[in-house]
Every structure is written in structure tokens, then in C-alpha cells.
Amino acid sequence: MWSRVAVALTLVASPAAADKKVAVASGYAHTIRGLPPPHGKKTMKFLTTALWEPIVGKVKDPTVHLPPKLRLVDTATSAEEKEGERIVVIKRMAKQRGTTILEIDYEVFGLAPCKDRKVTACLMPRPDLSFPNDDFAKTP
């Protein structure tokens, strides 16, 4: 729905139910139209203002569920998880090679315009980038 880029669909077993199949997101799209401001406090506010929709390929199997939306929060904020969403604390954020990167579940994501919607921001995995003096993104 959010991206027309070809996406490989990977299925994983949900910890809540072994028979429940969940599609894996290849990235996340901001639910509010608009591009992020330059790196800084305003960027953090942009990241934490709205939900982030998972980007997945077309799911034809009715037994496959979409992954939850992300609600990003900073380390000073507490939030209550609602049904259909998952709260993720932004532990680190940096600017590297002109891209704002952040850590989500020990993986580096880059903040950029979505490929098919230039006025919407997306978070996409960036295995080519890492935080200085840190190999966390390369080790599981």
C-alpha cells in the first residue's frame, strides 16, 4: 500500500500464537504527510508525533496478519501500548552521510522520503550505515 517497490515477504511465527503468521515489514511510512525537518530536536518531535505504518508487499494469504504500527518515543517519554501498535524507544539518533539514522530494535534505519510518495517520510533499514565506534548493527 505505501510502497510500490518490490518487497520480499517473509513470514514469522508470532510469540503470542504459534499458528499466527505475521508479515515482516521492510520499512515504515509516517502516517502524516510531510517531510522531516533537518536533524535535531524538531526531527525527534517529527518522529514521535504520529504512528509509522509497516511497509509490506501484497499479502494474498488471509491467514497472514500485518505487523503492528510503530509508535516511536524518546527516552524521556512513557507511552501506553494500544492494540495494533508497538512502542519503540529511540535510543540513538545521528546524522551520517546526509541521512538521519536511528536505532530500532538494534537495527539502523534511515529517515528519507518514501520512494513512491515524495511528501511522506519513510524509515528504511540501512545496513550500510552504523553509529560511530559501534558494531551493534552487524551482530544479531
For residue 107, is it within any domain?
yes
In a domain, 27, yes or no: yes
Q: Measured between alpha carbons, how far is 122 from 132 in angstroms, rounded to an integer?
A: 23
Determine, yes or no, domain membership for 6: no
Q: How does DSSP classify residue 136?
A: G
Q: Is residue 3 part of a domain?
A: no
Q: How many domains does the chain have?
A: 1
Asked if residue 5 is part of any domain, the answer here is no
d(CA 2, CA 115): 9
The three three-digit cell numbers of residue 90, written as one number: 529511540
Residue 4 falls inside a structural domain: no
Best CA proximity match to 135, nearest among 115, 105, 114, 107:
107
Bridge partner list, 103: 108
Predicted structure pTM score: 0.72
Report yes or no on 44 lying in a domain: yes
> In order along the chain (140 residues), what is the average pLDDT of each group of 10 residues?
28 45 87 75 86 87 88 83 88 86 88 78 91 57
Domain range for residue 110? 11-138
Q: What is the pLDDT of residue 135?
A: 53
Would 52 be classed as within a structural domain?
Answer: yes
What is the pLDDT at residue 116?
Answer: 74
Fill in the amino acid letter for 52. W
- Position 134 scores a pLDDT of 58
